[in-house]
Structure 1
């Protein structure tokens, strides 16, 4: 087998991280194989070497994200092989609010929402107690215009908010944050980035022959796997005997990075704020013109978080983020504990596939 290494290369989308990171820290760090035309197996062997020698965790601790440039992966199956080379445990989705379609082993579409709708900054599954340690995105087709994947550093964001609004961070550390999620039992919402249904989120064990009572028992058993969740069945009728499902999660909004010990603004609160702002539902009763309840994230005690804190966060994210541009066949690896990601609207063909992974040992 040929000797192949990954080396840092220039990448126009990279930015420099501010404190607390060392001077001239590149975000993301771009790595390219020494011989891009080498066979896939050589590239996989080089990834295994990065892991076995301990280089990979050091790179991620320093940079937070790695853009693997000039990989030339041809399809979802090659991406799956690449993702498995890191040796992590596949992450299991529980209660995913985003629709995804499995395309290869531990590989799915990233988000099937329309290309006109952005996805706002969030940590992957930051609104759940069950979240992945790492996220890999793979570009099957690049967009004609737009379609960047904005990423921002959660540790940098925490430090900035602590300096600008120490009372906000103090409240979050004391109270946590509360999310409301809604899962209809019916056709999914094709106009939103989210829009998964009850059965798609929690009904993997439900059979067509199950009674309503049995189906609910199976769904609620899945929900109980998330110990911080509470739920309620809504809109039960003769036409909808199962009903729609509303769940609530009360979670920490600030978490310590398990490897570095640094504090991170780890949550989906900014995303929920921006979605509510676009929908015009920041103020009570948090209901859209169509009658849909779409609140922002609350403090964990149910009280409203002042908008100014989120405005500061959004402004800082835009100043410090990297707008990751895509070339077909390339991959970005994100340390989910340290990095938030988003999605810009686009035109033309664009497809990203996602692979979610946990640490080799259970958290």
Structure 2
């Protein structure tokens, strides 16, 4: 994957400013703040007293957290003294009892524990463009949590961007075309290229794959004994089921072959027909997405990107529809794990309009 609009490693980090303590549970126990002046995204929460029982506070203030997650789209919890994956998973279960397995995968990850996974395992020198988790499907998490076990020596931030602002700032003609046509994702699972179908669907049983595809509106075809091709037309713009806000919600720019490094692109064009590329994106009617359109999408994401440094023990919680996320290149060891919660299944939700 090529490096799209990567920030220079020497970029100045955002300074944290704080407002006064806020009474959340009949006592002043946390500070609420901003990452920089005039920038309230994500919301910053830090303990205001030593020895706070963090898990107890989260349990007691679950509703407060969920209300503010909807209001701001993202919350950064800092200095709550979480040190283990088990504590992070327990915290996610406090926020939601609907934890998700990472099935129908698009990137390489390793299972850590329970429903916790490593963040995308792409080489450290690569950036991962901003995107909403699993927006290439009809089934996605409403909440995504990140836990920083070890920040890298340099870089490795998880930038975020407001999906509402992406939609607002894109050329209206581009938005309307995607609204009408939607996005088609074409994937080929073959030996030695990208992820295998066994990895993506987390099974070795072809009938399970076929049943999954049928349930989630995915056309699948076995081109040979171990070559599976899938096609799926999904939303380009979605309406948040709780806030009613319209958001830019797709991965057309990330799946498109143009997102790959030039050497990988050249290899694919030299050795495969386009229909056999590991992944690619089109308008929903199968017509090609213009290069100028993809370029503008990348530019708007870059323009709206909010970046801040990880600290050890940080937990970033995002409303996956309101905010996209990515990854900056990094130097040194970096360990960030991810958990997803509150599955939203578009095809089973008749009262929500998805464009």
Number of aligned residues: 320
CA 359–251 in structure 1, closer or farther in 2 if over 3 Å, else same:
closer
Distance in 2 (CA, whole Å) between partners of 1:223 and 1:63 is 34
Aligned with 1:26 (options 40, 62, 71): 40
Are positions 1:6 and 2:30 aligned together?
Answer: yes
Stretches (4+) displaced over 4 A:
359-363
- Distance apart, 1:47 and its partner CA: 1.8
Q: Secondary structure at the match of 1:173?
A: helix
**1:71 maps to which of 73, 76, 80:** 80
TM-score, structure 1 as length reference: 0.79
Q: Deviations over 1:172-226 (max 9, x none)?
A: 1111111112323x45x6xxxxx4321122243x3xxxxxxxx322321232231
Secondary structure in structure 1 of the residue aligned to 2:312: coil
- Name the residue aligned to 1:319: 303
Q: Hey, what's the Cα distance between the residues in 2 that align with 1:29 and 1:66? A: 5
TM-score (norm: length of structure 2): 0.81
Distance 2:249 2:267 in 1: 24
Cα displacement (A) at 1:102: 2.0
Say whether the 8 Å CA contact 1:135–1:355 is kept in structure 2: yes
| Distance in 2 (alpha carbons) for counterparts of 1:9 and 1:50 | 17
Q: Distance in 1 between matches of 2:121 and 2:278?
A: 20
Q: Which residue number corresponds to residue 168 of structure 1? A: 174
Shift of 1:122: 1.1
- Please say if residues 96 and 341 of structure 2, whose CA atoms lie closer than 8 Å, have aligned partners that are also in contact: no
1:48 lines up with 2:48 in the alignment: no
Q: Secondary structure at the match of 1:59?
A: helix
Contact 2:253 2:259 (8 Å CA) reproduced: no
CA distance in 2, matches of 1:154, 1:317: 9
- Checking the alignment, whether the CA contact within 8 Å between 1:72 and 1:328 is kept in structure 2 is no
Cα separation, partners in 2 of 1:264 and 1:360, compared to 1, 3 Å: closer
- Aligned residues of 2:189 and 2:229 also touching (Cα < 8 A): yes
1:183 aligned partner:
189
Alignment partner of 1:233 is 2:222? yes
* Counterpart in the other structure of 2:15: none
Q: Please state whether the residue corresponding to 1:127 is helix, strand or coil.
A: coil
Aligned to 1:151: 160
Give me the CA root mean square deviation.
2.8
Which of 237, 243, 246 matches 1:263?
246
Which of 98, 109, 119 matches 1:100? 109
For the 8 Å contact 1:122–1:268, the answer to whether it is kept is yes
Q: Which runs of 5+ in 2 are unaligned?
A: 1-25, 350-355
Segment drifting more, 104-113 vs 328-337: 104-113
Are residues 1:80 and 2:89 paired? yes
Contact 2:189–2:197 under 8 Å retained in 1: yes
Q: 1:36 to 1:338 in 2, by over 3 A?
A: farther
Contact 1:107 1:353 in 2 (8 A): yes
Aligned equivalents of 2:343 and 2:55: distance in 1? 19
Aligned match of 2:209: 219
Preserved contact between residue 97 and residue 181 of structure 1 (Cα < 8 Å) = no
| Whole-angstrom CA distance in 1 between matches of 2:247 and 2:267 | 28
What residue number does 1:212 align with?
A: none
Partner-residue secondary structure (3-state), 2:324: strand
| Contact 2:157–2:307, Cα closer than 8 Å, also in 1 | yes
> Equivalent residue for 1:199?
198
Say which SS state the counterpart of residue 342 (structure 1) adopts: strand
Aligned residue number for residue 290 of structure 2: 306
Matched, 1:247 2:246: no
**Which is worse superposed, 120-129 or 272-281?**
272-281
Q: Equivalent residue of 1:255, what SS?
A: strand
Instruction: Tell me, yes or no, if the aligned pair for 2:141 and 2:344 is still in contact at 8 Å.
Output: no
What is the aligned partner in structure 1 of residue 318 from structure 2? 334
- Whether contact under 8 Å (1:147, 1:347) holds in the other structure is yes
Per-residue deviation, 1:100: 2.2
Which SS does the other structure have where 2:137 is aligned?
Answer: coil
Question: For 1:61 and 1:307, how far apart are their aligned partners in 2?
Answer: 34
Question: Is the Cα–Cα contact under 8 Å of residues 139 and 343 in structure 2 kept in the other structure?
Answer: no
Tell me the alpha carbon deviations over residues 13-32 of structure 1, each in whole angstroms, 9 at most, x when there is no partner.
x5x8xxxxxxx451111111
Aligned to 1:211: none
